[in-house]
Structure 1
Amino acid sequence: MDLRIFTEPQQGATYDDLLRVARATEDLGFDAFFRSDHYLAMNADGLPGPTDAWLTLAGLARETSRIRLGTLVTSVTFRHPGPLAISVAQVDQMSGGRVELGLGAGWFEAEHNAYGIPFPPLGERFDRLEESFEIITGLWGTSEGRRFDHQGAHYQLTDSPALPKPVQSPRPPIIVGGAGKKRTPALAARFADEFNCAFVPADTAAEQIGRVRAACAKAGRRPETMTYSAALVLCCGRSESELARRADAIGREVGELRENGAAGTPDEVVETIERYREAGISRIYLQTLDLTDLDHLEVIANEVAPQLVR
């Protein structure tokens, strides 16, 4: 089971905070460091303010050496697909080929209003998402020396040199996630290397994985070529007092976390993750909300991860 650390910096974190967590992620043997792509805190003051996802990953690309780096997920409303393809390719080069792109339709209207970002209706956002996948993969997949054109409903590219190219071949892995029953599985089957189920029970994840597998089969793709992952809020303690302290630090109740997240003692967290393995999941993103508590990561690395090795 791959274990990845997933952060929510919009809740209040500087680049230096994220760098400390990323270095601990690498030193402790985790597979990857991921971050959300948000510009507005949720139920918090968010001080000192948001950091940009791709600027952060560019910095971390130069200050880490092994871990994978990516977004869960970048909002298609934030960046035009051509410039985004350039940014991701550059960060892939800066990291030596360790970047992954999670891309979604966007959902948080308040942050769009707060920073003057247009927020189209859901159907249009999905249309833009599909076009963005077409453009980004098209730019990356165009041979050097050739040109790329796209004439879509929302984006038009003419005579693009389709540069720069990412280091990874044929391209950086693409992650699609969500609970949509039709368009989301179809987009995943067409474009994704990984499908993510975020913050849902294991049985719900299994149902959505079934839809993605069916979409793959319909598209003529072998479902086993997709990696299936889940995101779970993390709250683990060696004792009840340690667990309660960590729950309090993120403003949550222990009982609620045990029901809805990867929470409890190390053995309980292992049991939870094993339920997701049974549902077809092979990768877990552990949403780590208190970025000052590096000992929390040590607990997982030393007392949870070894139990998940098969």
Structure 2
Amino acid sequence: MTSRPFRFGVTMLAPAERADWVDKCRKAEELGYDVLGVADHLGMPPPFPALVLAAETTERIRLCTYVLNAGFYNPALLAREVAGTDQFTGGRLELGLGAGYVRSEFEAAGLPFPSGGERADHLERTVTALRGMFAGAEHQPRPVRPSGPPLMIAGQGERVLRLAARHADVIGFSGTVAGTNVAPPVFAPAEVVAERTEFAMATLGERADEVEFNVIVFRVTPGRDRSEALERLSAEMPNLSLAQLADVPTALTGTPAQMAEQLRVARERFGFSYFTVLEPSMTDFAPVIELLR
């Protein structure tokens, strides 16, 4: 589906004191990750200051909001934060945006939880407003590029995917069952993921070769062989059979070589060339990066 080179990201989830944060950002770069992301959930590190500090302590790794909950932000104030962070990180920022989905976080922040359509509306207004503000910034920081940092739009509904097809440099897919908000996540079967990526590809039209597809790898389960690792993982994923679990792009199992082959298959089948693992899997996944360079 694509021959685009692989990119690998890791998203940090755990708050840390300054020294510990510096250490793990340096480790991510040393392990070969291309992108260091910070999630936007209450109780996790604050995205913008965390990324500025990451830039100060690293040299080449890209820095991403993975992904901002657009419903938490006024577009004008967000434009200031994004442009200032882009400047302070030397243009290494990548902006990830989503519509938001965790009701309890809206409630904890004292915000109403809009309907799915209302959240998609606000995401679209935010994307449109940011583009205009970056291009015409006069009384606030300017981003390094006049159009702003590279934009990821994450989601799987048709409205969000159509928005991404018009504006995004990267489309982010969760690969989970729509409407679920539980831990561990409920993985969507491979055929459902394929239908969503095929819809996005068709919607992109002439832009199909320009846009990168990203997916979250929620589980990295090492093992001496895939069968043993899949058996261990399947206890957490009762909605999928072992055969189904072996096909999803959201879980990697087995040896580094077996995981690398899974990613090659996922790139061919779904168009994913950019894979993001979660912080607890940062070290376990690193040998896979070495095999795919």
Q: By the TM > 0.5 criterion, same fold?
A: yes
Deviations 1:217-259 (A, max 9, x none): 2xxx42111111111124243658xx98xx9xxxx95334783
Secondary structure of 1:225's aligned partner: coil
How many angstroms apart in 2 are the aligned matches of 1:206 and 1:60?
34
Corresponding residue of 2:24 = 21
Equivalenced residues, count: 262
How many angstroms apart in 2 are the aligned matches of 1:120 and 1:31?
35
Which is bigger in relative contact order (C-alpha 8 A, separation at least 6)? Answer: 2
Corresponding residue of 2:263 = 273
Q: CA RMSD in A?
A: 2.6
Corresponding residue of 1:156 = none
1:59 aligns with 2:53: yes
Is contact 1:75–1:106 with CA below 8 Å preserved after alignment? yes
Is contact 2:11–2:279 with CA below 8 Å preserved after alignment? yes
Shift of 1:196: 1.2
When residues 102 and 162 of structure 1 are mapped into structure 2, their CA distance, relative to the original with a 3 A threshold, is farther
Secondary structure of 2:112's aligned partner: coil
Shift of 1:73: 1.0
Corresponding residue of 1:4 = 9
The one of 182, 185, 189 equivalent to 2:161 is 185
Secondary structure of 2:40's aligned partner: coil
TM-score between the two structures when normalised by the length of structure 2:
0.80
Is contact 1:195–1:228 with CA below 8 Å preserved after alignment? yes
1:254 aligns with 2:233: yes
Shift of 1:207: 2.1
When residues 13 and 204 of structure 1 are mapped into structure 2, their CA distance, relative to the original with a 3 A threshold, is farther
How many angstroms apart in 2 are the aligned matches of 1:25 and 1:164?
29
Deviations 1:3-27 (A, max 9, x none): 1112323xx6555444322211111
Secondary structure of 1:179's aligned partner: coil
How many angstroms apart in 2 are the aligned matches of 1:262 and 1:8?
19
Deviations 1:178-217 (A, max 9, x none): 121x211210012110011113455433322221222222
Is contact 1:77–1:125 with CA below 8 Å preserved after alignment? yes
Is contact 2:32–2:289 with CA below 8 Å preserved after alignment? no
Is contact 1:229–1:282 with CA below 8 Å preserved after alignment? yes
For structure 1, which segment, 193-202 or 252-261, has the greater mean C-alpha deviation from structure 2 after superposition? 252-261
Shift of 1:65: 1.8
| Equivalent AA in structure 2 for residue 308 of structure 1 | L
| Equivalent AA in structure 2 for residue 281 of structure 1 | F
Which runs of 5 or more residues in structure 1 are unaligned?
Answer: 40-48, 145-160, 291-295
How many angstroms apart in 2 are the aligned matches of 1:7 and 1:253?
25
Corresponding residue of 2:184 = none
Corresponding residue of 1:196 = 172
1:289 aligns with 2:280: yes
How many angstroms apart in 2 are the aligned matches of 1:226 and 1:3?
16
